[in-house]
Structure 1
């Protein structure tokens, strides 16, 4: 829903109600992940998508009805072949969607404000069980708003939502009627909106220009850093969120790096690379990619060993950077780097899908623990 936030905030500021359709469960080869959203305004405007086109027409009709009645609905869409007359997913998967009306006075307004300001927030919604369907509790690290109908249930959900939010996770939790964690009566969908993950690009060259565009499209907060002021100019990187003129290792030392951060080193200069990489290898970054030839990588790792880097640390380096796509241009190279980042995050093989068997959309984590970041950009 992050990508929809500006438009949804505008609707609410104008006093326009809308229906919000959110994917709360998927199974099989479904096209989108839990948390994907589509909104329909009272004027009939649509933003977002829940399936990539398969069931949007049916969801639009259901969302329009929810706008009129105000009653939340849960819809399930399963397999439909090309000759079927009923609405369904041609991919063979199943998605479950919760549709709710959102009014200008709703607590969702404060959630959208927090998303826009990159303040972490989670939204817990009852999707099944004896608790009020569609009941919503909004949870921040220091406060909560709304009720699911029972104080003890509210307390348990608030605690669990904060835990999921800390790790940037979205998923479904089940409880007893009074918040018992051993219960199965009530299903609560918890959607986390953590700040966008960081992409740190070092080296202000043409490859960085292209990568900053792709990284921004993937939902990263992109920072480009270079020690040379003639190249580290914001005008060269219109899609970057920040352009910094500083020695790379100095900038990295004062920058927060977590398990979702990706680091791309495109400097081609040992005096910048080596201190930077020694600093990067001490961080929990999800990905550290370094541009250069195979010979350059061998020479580089030798010098890093002399500086004290261990074999386990050096194994974290993705170098030469990117997947083997035959890329030549900066734009093609940016796609290659982005492909490797996605492959690492999602656990893919990097092979053509036509060379594999089994489901296209693999589940790398349990349904109850889906990491957010790029994929929560509605996405």
Structure 2
């Protein structure tokens, strides 16, 4: 077994990318499918204690040893490469256990000190020898990227009857399982054991949420930076503005949608459940955007500018676009201005980063403080097992065997 940082790893550098996510993995798998290239999908299915990534994190291990994504910061990737070669040879998935809770110098000899244990599941993706399974894996990731509604997916990790329910099968989860709280409060993913008829299954359950959605009001260079950064962080981005020579696809290639609307017609933009950043730098436009888009349905509205400018914008307006009412005081809790976390941002890049950090904190229900000041939380329940009354929480497979992406 090679150690991390060995000569073998130096020859094949790990490809992580700045935006490692489901979207990138989906693109990479689609390329593997079109080019008839095999790889292995490595997924963290269980974590006990602290670890670099949590349950549901994935990476791809290619035939040449290159890795797309990251699971451990390089601690186990070299060992995963060796196991991946065997998985590709046999087309049989396997589960690996890494325990870093022993003495620092006893793991790979490099002093990891992670103080946790992780279980990784390796699944073969071979569009030539196993095309139906490859379609299933790719379809699963594509649905995660494209969904606009939350759902729960169950991946079969282990089965007492592989002929009846093979490892790798993907299923939707019935509502009863959610009510049973199999994942536990606050957990997004984890292992559970459930019976399906006479077959005992070990499942990775994952709550899949839609990509968060951002609406940018503005077409300046700072809006372009925010759009690009948000897109790299998997946000779905809409740029909404009236017709100008700057409101073009060429200037906003990263945007999922470019909405050209009549001047001041911000009520035409859907903001339900979305995050809005107003940055037109025009007082009248910004005022109208705030007055029309700060609704009970919006998740967050950030406004670029000073506190003095905010006061002017909050004044009832009888000029320009026609929004002359005052804002409901109860909605002000959704208004963030000056926008962004206080990180001393000065450059446009830093400002965009502070805005995205604040939106992420709001989305995740966090304050945005220092992690060192956060009290440690308990690890929670471990691997729940179904009671006899929970005979089956599995519906039909998400992707039939014949599904072709």
Distance 2:315 2:380 in 1: 36
Partner residue, 2:389: none
Partner residue, 2:313: 300
Q: Tell me the SS of whatever aligns to 1:83.
A: helix
Distance 1:252 1:114 in 2: 35
1:99 matched to 2:155? The reply is: no
Partner residue, 2:106: 84
Give the CA RMSD over aligned residues.
Answer: 3.7
Q: Is contact 1:201–1:223 with CA below 8 Å preserved after alignment?
A: yes
| 1:149-164 paired onto structure 2 within 5 Å | 157=173
TM-score (norm 2): 0.71
Q: Is contact 2:271–2:298 with CA below 8 Å preserved after alignment?
A: no
Q: 1:107 to 1:119 in 2, by over 3 A?
A: farther
Q: Tell me the SS of whatever aligns to 1:235.
A: coil
Q: Is contact 1:29–1:92 with CA below 8 Å preserved after alignment?
A: yes
TM-score (norm 1): 0.75
Q: Is contact 2:306–2:338 with CA below 8 Å preserved after alignment?
A: yes
Q: CA-to-partner distance for each residue in 1:181-212, whole Å, 9 max, x for gaps? A: xxxx6442134666533211111112112111
Q: What is the CA distance between 1:232 and its match in structure 2?
A: 1.2
1:62 matched to 2:88? The reply is: no
Distance 1:227 1:127 in 2: 51
Partner residue, 2:329: 311
| 1:1-379 paired onto structure 2 within 5 Å | 1-79=22-100, 82-86=104-108, 89-104=112-127, 105-113=131-139, 115-116=141-142, 119-120=146-147, 123-127=153-157, 130=160, 132=162, 135-139=167-171, 157=173, 170-172=188-190, 174=192, 176-178=194-196, 186-191=201-206, 195-247=210-262, 250=265, 253-255=268-270, 257-258=272-273, 261-282=274-295, 284-303=297-316, 307-354=325-372, 356=373, 358-359=375-376
Q: Tell me the SS of whatever aligns to 2:196.
A: coil
Select between 321-330 and 83-92 the one with higher mean Cα deviation: 83-92
Q: What is the CA distance between 1:175 and its match in structure 2?
A: 5.4
Q: What is the CA distance between 1:130 and its match in structure 2?
A: 3.8
Q: 1:173 to 1:82 in 2, by over 3 A?
A: closer
Q: What is the CA distance between 1:228 and its match in structure 2?
A: 4.4
Q: Is contact 1:346–1:364 with CA below 8 Å preserved after alignment?
A: no
Gaps of 5+ in 2: 1-21, 182-186, 318-322, 384-405
Q: 1:314 to 1:63 in 2, by over 3 A?
A: same
Distance 2:23 2:178 in 1: 19
Q: CA-to-partner distance for each residue in 1:265-307, whole Å, 9 max, x for gaps? A: 1123343233433443325443221111112223333438972
Distance 2:161 2:264 in 1: 52
Q: What is the CA distance between 1:176 and its match in structure 2?
A: 3.9
Q: 1:241 to 1:318 in 2, by over 3 A?
A: same
Q: 1:237 to 1:78 in 2, by over 3 A?
A: same
Q: Choose 1 or 2 for highest CA Rg.
A: 2
Gaps of 5+ in 1: 141-156, 369-379
Q: 1:227 to 1:18 in 2, by over 3 A?
A: same
Q: Tell me the SS of whatever aligns to 1:38.
A: strand
Distance 2:271 2:367 in 1: 30
Select between 113-122 and 336-345 the one with higher mean Cα deviation: 113-122
Q: What is the CA distance between 1:219 and its match in structure 2?
A: 0.8
- How many residues were matched structurally? 340
Partner residue, 2:184: none
Q: 1:365 to 1:237 in 2, by over 3 A?
A: farther
Q: Is contact 2:310–2:337 with CA below 8 Å preserved after alignment?
A: yes
